Amino acid sequence: MRRLRVSEHVPSILVASLGAAFGVSLLQLAGVMSSVIVADDVTGSSGMVRVMLAAVAIVFIAIAIYVSAIVTANTFATIIAGRTRTIALLRLIGSSAATQRRAVAWEGLQVGVVGAVVGTVTGTVVSLGVVAVGRATDFLPALDYGFAPPVIALPVVAVVLTTWLASWIGSRRVLTVSPIQATGASQEESLEQASGHRARNVVAAVLVVTGLGALVLAVVVGLVSPFGVLIGVVGGLLSFSGFILGAQAVMPRVLRWVGRAFGSSAPARLAAQNAVRYPERSTRTTIGLVIGVTLITMFAVAVESFQGLMRRLQEGQPGGQEQTDQVLVIIVAVFSILTGFSALIAAVGMVNNLSLGVLQRTRELGLLRALGFTARQVRRMILIESASLTVAAVLVGLVLGTFYGWVGAQSLLGSATAGGGVLPPAVPVPLLVAVALAAAVLTLVASVTPSRRATRIAPVAALAVT
């Protein structure tokens, strides 16, 4: 039993605790919202609103577990990839692959437990804070809100189990590390190429097609019942899982396309190449952000559509509209904060991945400096690489999010529109502005540490690494 190397796992613990906080907060605040709406039955339609909220809460639970699982899995896979040398060295001196794998999974379990505890506390504090602010500003009535419904155990246990499982899945690569890799210049791509992708792509395609089928069904059912959204959840999860599984076929293409937009100077060309150099790793780096942006966009588009519909339904009753708008403001605020959490998880993953990538390229950066890359050119190269990843993720996320948001709104509200009509997809402009700003900030933040690290290396020291 090895002791947990905390410094190496800080990003993992952060991701796990953010995941747990996300789930806990989500459930606590969904409970709060239910209480508010039940207590404040002004529109006389609280029954229907409650059903919708219940449906939405189920969606949130599913997504919370899903996001933390995927991001934790990706973070762990990246850590394992960076450890190839160490693992190979331990194999070389006689440790079996199975032992190594169990050791990694044991670390994963510890990371999961620590992350879940930290996350539960943090999430509860965030919920309490939101409610306190809500009360102070009179958005929320002074009700007795329960902050420890048994259901919050769900994301906590899920984070522990998924982190454990993710470390086990991530450690599959341990089995492919040969002892000889400790002695030579081991390259990660040989590992990445080692796993065949054909079967995986087939599964991905099946999931996407099935999911899209369910989404179409959801829209059709939604025309007569708000429960269409539950079919939509299944369809969304299936198709999005399929997309994530097969993202390796999509993201490198988008990255290549985005990379071309940064011009043809030597730093820009190398940056574009670096961004797609290990397709699997780039996909892993961007997919977290794609998930985050997709979620934010999805909820923003869904809420905007909902708001538009409510306004139209209540055109004749000015009083009721004000009430609904107030509730919607709360919903939008809560949704934005909670989906912002998942984007934050993704951002942590991206910063982590980019840093690791630069660290593993020390020798190459030394070569570039020797051949005449100025420190500024190196910084620009890393900044463009960071920007390529962010822009590609954001673009894909916006497209997917708009689609899912529209399907969600349509399947939930289709039956409420006059004559079973079709809602137009509504993309809020503030969302686009906020996403663009956040992407710019993330690009800069993600490139700061690797840039400093890369330019601080003396070319001689980098060249001495063998």
- Binder to another protein among 102, 135, 256, 277 (CB under 8 A)? 277
Contacts 24+ apart (CB under 8 A), 418-421: 418/312, 418/313, 420/223, 420/224
Q: How far is the CB of 211 from another protein (least distance, A)?
A: 35
Q: How far is the CB of 377 from another protein (least distance, A)?
A: 7
Q: How far is the CB of 297 from another protein (least distance, A)?
A: 32
**Span from 133-141, 204-212, 269-277, 434-442 in contact with another protein (CB under 8 A):** 269-277
Q: How far is the CB of 283 from another protein (least distance, A)?
A: 17
CA-nearest of 132, 147, 215, 274 to 403 is 215
Instruction: State yes or no: residue 266 binds another protein (CB under 8 A).
Output: yes
Whose structure tokens read 């039956």?
415
Determine the Cα–Cα distance for residues 331 and 30; give it in Å rounded to an integer: 10
Instruction: State yes or no: residue 363 binds another protein (CB under 8 A).
Output: yes
Determine the Cα–Cα distance for residues 12 and 36; give it in Å rounded to an integer: 36
Q: How far is the CB of 277 from another protein (least distance, A)?
A: 6
Write the CA distances from 291 to 345, 375, 429, integer angstroms: 10, 34, 20
- Binder to another protein among 39, 312, 374, 433 (CB under 8 A)? 374
Instruction: State yes or no: residue 265 binds another protein (CB under 8 A).
Output: yes
The region that residue 419 occupies, defined by phi over 0 for left and psi between -120 and 50 for alpha, beta otherwise, is left
DSSP 425: P
Q: How many residues does the chain have?
A: 466
Number of residues that bind another protein (CB under 8 A): 26
Which token pair is 282? 């780039």
Site string for another protein, 169-188 (x = CB under 8 A): ----------------x---
Determine the Cα–Cα distance for residues 427 and 431; give it in Å rounded to an integer: 8
Task: Answer whether 119's CB lies under 8 Å from 19's CB.
Answer: yes
**Span from 43-51, 331-339, 441-449, 452-460 in contact with another protein (CB under 8 A):** 452-460
- Binder to another protein among 367, 395, 427, 440 (CB under 8 A)? 367
Cβ partners under 8 Å of residue 43, min gap 6: 49, 320, 323, 324
Between 188 and 304, CB nearer to another protein: 188
Instruction: State yes or no: residue 364 binds another protein (CB under 8 A).
Output: yes
Instruction: State yes or no: residue 369 binds another protein (CB under 8 A).
Output: yes
Between 306 and 373, CB nearer to another protein: 373
Q: How far is the CB of 184 from another protein (least distance, A)?
A: 11
Q: How far is the CB of 152 from another protein (least distance, A)?
A: 47
Determine the Cα–Cα distance for residues 339 and 159; give it in Å rounded to an integer: 17
The CB-side HSE value for 123 (13 A sphere, CA atoms) comes to 32
Count of CB atoms within 10 A of residue 385's CB? 30
**Helical packing angle, 84-92 and 97-136, nearest 10°:** 150
Q: How far is the CB of 83 from another protein (least distance, A)?
A: 21
DSSP 44: S
Instruction: State yes or no: residue 281 binds another protein (CB under 8 A).
Output: no
Between 135 and 269, CB nearer to another protein: 269
Instruction: State yes or no: residue 463 binds another protein (CB under 8 A).
Output: yes
Instruction: State yes or no: residue 359 binds another protein (CB under 8 A).
Output: no
Between 63 and 392, CB nearer to another protein: 392
**Rounded to a whole number, what is the distance in angstroms from the first to the last CA of the chain?**
31
**Span from 98-106, 252-260, 316-324, 365-373 in contact with another protein (CB under 8 A):** 365-373
Instruction: State yes or no: residue 84 binds another protein (CB under 8 A).
Output: no
Q: How far is the CB of 32 from another protein (least distance, A)?
A: 51
Instruction: State yes or no: residue 270 binds another protein (CB under 8 A).
Output: yes
Query: Any idea what the Cα angle at residue 448 is, between residues 444 and 453, rounded to 5°?
Result: 155
Which token pair is 69? 């699982």
What is the Cα 80 distance to its own chain's centre? 20
Instruction: State yes or no: residue 375 binds another protein (CB under 8 A).
Output: yes
Contact positions vs another protein (CB under 8 A): 185, 265-266, 269-270, 273-274, 277, 363-364, 367-377, 458-460, 463, 466
